[in-house]
Amino acid sequence: MKKRLAITPGEPSGVGPELMYYVSKLSLEDTQLVLVASKELIKQRVSLFDTNVQFKDYDVNNFEPQQKGSLTILDVPLGCDSIPGKLDTRNAKYVLNCLDIASDKSESGEFQGIVTGPISKAVIADIGLEFTGHTEYFQERTHTKRVVMMLGCDKLNVALATTHLPLKEVSSHITAELLTEVVTILNHDLKTKFGIEKPCIISAGLNPHAGEDGHLGTEELDTIIPTFNKLRAQGINIIGPLPADTMFQEKYLTKADAFLTMYHDQGLPVLKHVGFDSGYNTTLGLPYIRTSVDHGTAIDLAGTKKADPGSLYSAINLACRMLASRR
């Protein structure tokens, strides 16, 4: 089956555009990679490494799997010339245009998914738009009720019950409805996008020591445990809630297909310690596959050719694996 993945390089003044050079080093048998970006920008940044890369214009009627030494580009014009390392709000709309095109074409089936590069949320916010991240943006764009952010590397996957919230607001968001939706999506996509027949999900509690039987908080007793009991009765294999400080032991690492944590910084420091240069990010629950690098724009490295492509390769490889495992 013909497979197409869009790649959005992200913030034009960051390292994303120059990392596209490493895409030109890939050769895939059955998957076409299409950069949704400014052709001129990509040419400029790739020429830092190699002036012999062949650039092809994207044609929906011409399916060519990714070939080494070439890049296929769906051209999107910049708002203004971009200088490595210098953010410019005039290009904020360009970044969003790339995301919109990639999302709409994935939702229609022209692409099967998106691999996203790093963006600057501040640049978009500076033009007066509320933007908290790719995850929420694609959720709104596709009118999806609930999505789940999951980050991972070769050793573990960590899904988040809540994402970009101030810590003081997390507890009020941990409801039976939210946990039911998050765990159901996580279980479903581990089956349908990762090809895992009977996923094992291991979850942390919210409080230290998972509440210590109510002495360190009652969210576990009032909400988390009753909800997990109902999910287990529906056939979902979820273990927990466990104390977060002891959950990432080898005995659990070998068992879990995914860990679930209640808030952003509860699980991600562990993940990024283990696999910072090879990590990936994926949004579950969308009508298409979406993976991402697990790093920022690295403005200070832009134009230096020092950015590591490890996370980009991990994100592309994950998207390809998810395509192959889809049910």
For the stretch 39-95, pLDDT in tens is 999 999 999 998 899 999 999 999 999 999 999 999 999 999 999 999 999 999 999
Using the Cα atoms of residue 112, residue 117, residue 122 and residue 126 in order, give the sign of their dihedral: negative
For the stretch 233-261, pLDDT in tens is 999 999 999 999 999 999 999 999 999 99
pLDDT value of residue 327: 67
Instruction: Read off the tokens for 295.
Output: 């790093």
pTM of the complete model: 0.89
Confidence of residue 295 (pLDDT cuts 50, 70, 90): confident
For the stretch 149-192, pLDDT in tens is 999 988 899 999 998 889 999 999 999 999 999 999 999 999 99
Instruction: Read off the tokens for 131.
Output: 């933007």
| The Cα angle at residue 150 between residues 147 and 152, in degrees rounded to 5 | 165
pLDDT value of residue 103: 98
Residues 6 or more apart whose CB falls under 8 angstroms from that of 151 comprise 157, 158, 160, 268, 271, 279, 280, 281, 282, 294
For the stretch 188-238, pLDDT in tens is 999 999 999 999 999 999 999 999 999 999 999 999 999 999 999 999 999
Which of 142, 122, 146 lies closest to 132 in space, CA to CA?
A: 122
- Phi and psi torsions of 34, nearest 5°: -120, 120
Residue by residue, DSSP assigns 12-52 as: TTSSHHHHHHHHTT---SSEEEEEEE-HHHHHHHHTTT-S-
Q: What's the rounded Cα separation, in Å, for the pair 218 and 32?
A: 50
* Domains of the chain as residue ranges with CATH: 1-144+286-327 (3.40.718.10), 147-276 (3.40.718.10)
pLDDT value of residue 100: 97
Asked whether residue 275 carries a pLDDT value surpassing 90, the answer given is: no
